Structure 1
């Protein structure tokens, strides 16, 4: 069975003006755009409960047929007081004239003396619940404590439970908290604080990661005794101190159903010497290794060095020269969710995709700076389209304002199997 189509979602969402909202009162709408173009969701101000007070909508996480959105201050928010789960996406009758729409559900706010009201956005993950709904989880872990806190809420799926609202008003469906032993290593001399960089959903687990030194995995569907496990980054990738804008040179994601780590580094960053300074892009794949645990299905991972390529090889390829881009180090944006060889980069005003082992540019969108908002540094997320809107919609996209003629393929792109899906 073919994989569902996917889109690149900008994390800074569009806010519908009040005048437009009055003309067409749709809470969530989106005109889907084929990768590498970027899709932007439009959110009505009415979705936010209470006064907005300058807060803007931001995409927290993508999940199976759902999106998790928040309202917060600034383009790069770190905390929020409100979460909204967007579901039940409906395909329009005419995708060229009418946008796809979704239904928002306000996530119940947390109560209780020990549960914080605010959410740390980079520590909030979204995954499927075992009974067919959805699960939102936030992990709180610090160096100053030998315990971590896992905060969770399980949603109901109205198709299974016949609920009028996604979240039940019963107490049993409110936020719960679980104190767990901290998984952070304490015997190897590492002393820096855990700095959350994001969360990915993979292999029935959520993986919280700090791009400077590791990941923490957990199956949040285990109610009574979930296990938190720490995993190091690939060999040589540990940093004593996080680097500024580390998201522009490192990425942890899921591609082709495997956990991936990608980075841009120099030889001396990897090998411990400073004689060579050639910049390279490299990928590692996380391979699960059973460690004979207690039968809970948890495991360790071993990093497999998948590929590595110098930027000189990419710059010298005819496909790169045809783009007329300068020979400069770009920013990592994301990895193709189907083809791990293909990495998306941003440079100047252009978003482009490279088949790294083949050192060949396979897609480019010029003048894309307004869509990807590069100053955000955490600007986009991939999303597999729900079945309700996947069929025939992406092929009907039209260029956004100011983007006409800005997309092109390079010779050989059609034979690579990427770009069009």
Structure 2
């Protein structure tokens, strides 16, 4: 009797590297008219690719061959831009003509495809975001569009928002579309103080947007980050300028696009800023290029923020690792592609036909693949994070039962317990060293056979002081940041 037990499908990864340019299904593959949006889910370093049926396009007779993924949110879905000719979806600087249509791909579920090694998923819901009535179908900049899942909704409620900050204008403009609404709404926001010049004469060219901690963060890679909670009745913009690993006047100008050398992403629940930089006068040239990561630390409830340097790794250290030496990756400065959402030390880089990941804390090459054009049919070779995006897989696919907020709380509790344990161990070590020192002093005292009352009092006071300090050590709030 034959066994009817089927081989279980592979477990989907927790996140994937997603090609921002989606595939348009051919018309003969879409004849039924009900084909769904689908995506493969290979584990990194594999690159997932989204397939879009032609009937979703606003002009199926002349579909855009490069639909572009603007934003990827674990709960809210994928925000896709479908352009109208002669534009393509990946053209982020719009021209003054009918430009694009925004759709939100939602409610992803696993898809069983016999014979495929990788897990797949399909979107059960495709929501068309209405055009803005105030400016027609165009946006000021597709780079400035962000997607935010409302806290506690699990992605059921969401908001799409665009921030416009023009030089010479008194206020910033925030345009929002909320789920369930029929039209966009607009807000006038006070511009924050921008050091060095008055706010009115300082524009803000947005390069990218990330969502974190209930806020949207609009990134200008040459200046910093503007952020606010678009769900507030009166949103308030705040400015966080970027730190400098090397002072600007002492940096070597790379001559490359800013996207190649800088990236901002959320990893392990915090905003991370990564950059390539090199100081002038370094005799070793490109080998002295530094790959640095900064973490944005927020002190609640007052909201005070500052940047904390997490790691600095010389490119030469990565080149000298055994794994890099045995690979065929050239000795050249790569371009930033992605940051692992779960491990901030894992940075994904692009160099020529190679996509590879390095551990910046250890300065080691972890893995690499060759990006084949016939395997990943991009319109052009990948050159930075403009072509790739990390997408945390929805719980509807991974089978997770906890809400995102609860997962974050559990992660935070575990991290706090870990920090507390480290502080306790360090306090124990301090106490042990102190007792050893006191024991040595007492032995020296007995050897000299000195019976000074004052010396005994000094020893007792020192013992009480050190013991008290080591007990309080683990409760000092500032010590947390030394273990981040």
TM class, shorter-length: 0.7 to 0.9
User: Against the structure 1 CA distance between its residues 228 and 238, is the aligned structure 2 distance closer, same or farther, given a 3 Å change threshold?
Assistant: farther
Residue 82 of structure 2, aligned match among 71, 84, 91: 71
Alignment partners' CA distance in 2, 1:204 and 1:180: 18
Alignment partners' CA distance in 2, 1:92 and 1:258: 32
Residue 342 of structure 2, aligned match among 338, 344, 350: 338
Contact (CA 8 Å) 1:350, 1:368: kept in 2 or not? no
Contact (CA 8 Å) 2:173, 2:186: kept in 1 or not? yes
Q: What does residue range 26-45 of structure 1 map to in structure 2 within 5 Å? A: 26-45=35-54
Matched, 1:147 2:171: yes
Q: Quick check: which has more Rg, 1 or 2? A: 2
Residue 211 of structure 1, aligned match among 216, 221, 224: 221
User: Against the structure 1 CA distance between its residues 71 and 245, is the aligned structure 2 distance closer, same or farther, given a 3 Å change threshold?
Assistant: same
Matched, 1:122 2:132: no
SS at match of 2:55: helix
SS at match of 2:111: coil
SS at match of 2:265: strand
Alignment partners' CA distance in 2, 1:125 and 1:336: 20
Structure 2: segments with no counterpart, 5+ residues? 1-11, 401-484
CA shift, 1:188, in A, is 4.1
Residue 178 of structure 1, aligned match among 156, 179, 187: 187
SS at match of 1:388: helix
Residue 106 of structure 2, aligned match among 55, 77, 87: 87
Contact (CA 8 Å) 1:289, 1:300: kept in 2 or not? yes
Contact (CA 8 Å) 1:207, 1:217: kept in 2 or not? yes
Say which is worse superposed, 134-143 or 92-101, in terms of deviation: 92-101
Matched, 1:263 2:284: no
Alignment partners' CA distance in 2, 1:173 and 1:300: 37
Residue 384 of structure 1, aligned match among 392, 408, 426: 392
Alignment partners' CA distance in 2, 1:173 and 1:4: 36
Matched, 1:348 2:358: no
User: Against the structure 1 CA distance between its residues 142 and 275, is the aligned structure 2 distance closer, same or farther, given a 3 Å change threshold?
Assistant: farther
CA shift, 1:235, in A, is 2.9
Q: Which residue is equivalent to 2:131?
A: 109
User: Against the structure 1 CA distance between its residues 356 and 127, is the aligned structure 2 distance closer, same or farther, given a 3 Å change threshold?
Assistant: same
User: How many residues are treated as equivalent by the alignment?
Assistant: 362
CA shift, 1:300, in A, is 4.1
Alignment partners' CA distance in 1, 2:149 and 2:136: 24
Matched, 1:288 2:298: yes
User: Against the structure 1 CA distance between its residues 329 and 75, is the aligned structure 2 distance closer, same or farther, given a 3 Å change threshold?
Assistant: farther
CA shift, 1:27, in A, is 3.3
SS at match of 2:168: coil
User: Against the structure 1 CA distance between its residues 75 and 320, is the aligned structure 2 distance closer, same or farther, given a 3 Å change threshold?
Assistant: farther
SS at match of 1:325: coil
Alignment partners' CA distance in 2, 1:181 and 1:189: 13
Matched, 1:138 2:168: no
Alignment partners' CA distance in 2, 1:387 and 1:300: 33
SS at match of 2:69: strand
Which structure carries more relative contact order (alpha carbon 8 Å, separation 6+)? 1
CA shift, 1:340, in A, is 0.6
Q: Which residue is equivalent to 1:61?
A: 71
CA shift, 1:129, in A, is 1.9
Say which is worse superposed, 48-57 or 374-383, in terms of deviation: 48-57
SS at match of 1:248: helix
The structure richer in helix per residue is 2
Alignment partners' CA distance in 1, 2:244 and 2:197: 15
Contact (CA 8 Å) 1:8, 1:383: kept in 2 or not? yes
TM-score of the aligned structures, taking structure 2 as reference length: 0.69
Q: Which residue is equivalent to 1:47?
A: 56
User: Against the structure 1 CA distance between its residues 20 and 99, is the aligned structure 2 distance closer, same or farther, given a 3 Å change threshold?
Assistant: farther
SS at match of 2:31: helix
SS at match of 1:91: strand
Alignment partners' CA distance in 1, 2:171 and 2:62: 36
Q: Which residue is equivalent to 1:412?
A: none
CA shift, 1:242, in A, is 11
CA shift, 1:59, in A, is 0.1
User: Against the structure 1 CA distance between its residues 130 and 342, is the aligned structure 2 distance closer, same or farther, given a 3 Å change threshold?
Assistant: closer
Contact (CA 8 Å) 1:350, 1:364: kept in 2 or not? yes
Q: What does residue range 355-366 of structure 1 map to in structure 2 within 5 Å? A: 355-366=359-370
Residue by residue, what CA displacement relative to the aligned partner does 1:203-224 show, whole Å, maximum 9, x if unpaired?
A: 11110001011100111111x2
Contact (CA 8 Å) 2:54, 2:60: kept in 1 or not? no
CA shift, 1:187, in A, is 4.1
Residue by residue, what CA displacement relative to the aligned partner does 1:38-94 show, whole Å, maximum 9, x if unpaired?
A: 101011121122456452311010113311101122363114531101011121234
Alignment partners' CA distance in 1, 2:329 and 2:69: 30
Alignment partners' CA distance in 2, 1:76 and 1:67: 15
